[in-house]
Amino acid sequence: MKFDLGNAVEVLTATPAALKVMLGGLSKVWTASAGTENDWQAFDVIGHLIHAEETDWIPRAKIILEHGVDGVFEPFDRFAQFERSKGKTFGELLDEFAKARQASLSTLSSWSLTDDQLELKGNHPELGDVTLGQLLATWVVHDLTHIRQIATAMAKKYAVEVGPWKQYLSILS
């Protein structure tokens, strides 16, 4: 499917509400951090999504729009949420993510991006030249990846308890 900003914004807009509906009323047994970088739970993922709102998508889009390939993106700390989320409740993180995402989408909307602007390039520290359209498409897929990650982490809590049905549950493979 060819990238379309309107279609992308649909998913980006829906993500915070979808996560709040899916996770907002659940007990900590489903959402609490395991405290490790190798076993992200819902708490960790939401913290990561907040950090990305603050330091990744819109800040990098601004670099592309203002500096093109002359402006190199700051490296992204994929584990910053472990320190950044300390002392916060899961509900606070869900609310913070919704507010941060709304601010990001307001900024994105204010730019009234053209197809030509979506082809502008920036300089990723590991990947080299990337376009604004690729960055925005990645934002959408990043959301979807982490929604899947949350669902998988939750499903694995009952991996043993499902008994022989495990063979039919691809999420546990």
Note the helical H segments in the chain.
5-23, 28-31, 42-55, 57-67, 81-84, 90-111, 115-118, 132-156
pLDDT at 77: 94
pLDDT digits (tens, 9 = 90+) for 107-163: 999 999 999 999 999 999 999 999 999 999 999 999 999 999 999 999 999 999 999
Confidence label for 40 from pLDDT (cuts 50, 70 and 90)? very high
pLDDT at 85: 95
Query: What's the CATH architecture for 5-172?
Result: Up-down Bundle (1.20)
C-alpha of 47 from chain center? 9
CA nearest neighbour of 153 among 11, 29, 16, 62: 29
Confidence label for 58 from pLDDT (cuts 50, 70 and 90)? very high
Per DSSP, the three-state class of 131 is strand
**How many CB atoms are closer than 10 A to CB 167?**
10
Confidence label for 82 from pLDDT (cuts 50, 70 and 90)? very high
Per DSSP, the three-state class of 2 is coil
